[in-house]
Amino acid sequence: MLRPALLAMALVSPLYAADCPPLLQHAFKTLQGKPLDLCGLAGKPILVVNTASKCGYTPQFEKLEGMYKQYRAQGLTVLGFPSNDFNQELASNKEIGDFCKLTYFVEFPMVEASSVQGEGANPFFKALSKATGQAPKWNFQKYLIAPDGKTVYAFSSPTEPDAPELMAKLKPMLR
């Protein structure tokens, strides 16, 4: 017999079993400490970006936030993954959150800082790297996950969030 807590979880979260693609079977905490279960994003396009606050590409936050505001009603979620793998991130999750909010008015979800490269990479980024054959070589690597949760496109750091090649993949995914 299932314990009441397990039964409640099974009733509330059936996505993991059937409807959640393996790539999205990850959970994180946002910079504000709130839980973020990627299975809740299944069926929608997701733009994943590894970020850093002190990088030459940091101004891309402005376009990322603009895309989020413009297309979120059509299903797009932008997810930021701060990382100090390239020694350009602030020291704490609070500092990162404050910087993103106060400098670029970021409202899209940003998860707690983690590694995105190499053996120490968080499991989600390992899966993204495996799916595309492209691990982040620098900050602001972008991965566009199709609503099927299986198809993933990678875009290098210099590719702006609103670049024609990225938008050509994203626009057909919007509802």
- The verdict on pTM exceeding 0.75 is yes
The one catalytic residue in 20, 39, 55, 100 is 55
Give all strands (DSSP E) within the chain, no chain letters.
27-29, 35-37, 46-51, 77-82, 142-145, 152-155
pLDDT of amino acid 18: 65
CATH class of 27-173: alpha beta
- The reported pLDDT for the residue numbered 19 is 86
55 annotated active-site: yes
Write phi, then psi, for 111 (nearest 5 degrees): -90, 170
Q: Where are the domains of the chain?
A: 27-173
**Which alpha helices (DSSP H) does 56-151 contain, by range?**
60-71, 93-104, 123-132
Give the HSE-up count for residue 116: Cα atoms under 13 Å, Cβ half-sphere.
29
Give whole-number Cα distances, 123 to 31, 76, 145, in Å: 18, 22, 16
Per-residue tens of pLDDT for the chain, all 175 residues: 444 333 334 444 444 546 899 999 999 999 989 999 999 999 999 999 999 999 999 999 999 999 999 999 999 999 999 999 999 999 999 999 999 999 999 999 999 999 999 999 999 999 999 999 999 999 999 999 999 999 999 999 999 999 999 999 999 999 9
pLDDT number for residue 8: 38
